[in-house]
Amino acid sequence: MDEIAKRIYHLKGSPREVGFLLGQALGKRLGDNIDRYIQTGPARHGFLDTNKLHTGALLWLRSLPQRFQDEIEGMAEGANISLQRLAEWCFVEECTDSGCTGLICRLNGRAWVARNNDLWAPDLWGYVSIREVEGRIPTISFGLEGDVFTVTGINRERLWLHSNYLPVRDEPTTKKPHQATYVWLT
Residue ranges per domain, the chain?
Answer: 5-185
How high is the pLDDT of residue 96?
77
Signed CA dihedral, 35, 86, 186, 27: sign only: positive
How high is the pLDDT of residue 113?
72
- Counting as low any pLDDT under 50, the low residues of the chain are none
Spatial contact of 19 and 87, defined as CB atoms under 8 Å apart: no
How high is the pLDDT of residue 143?
85
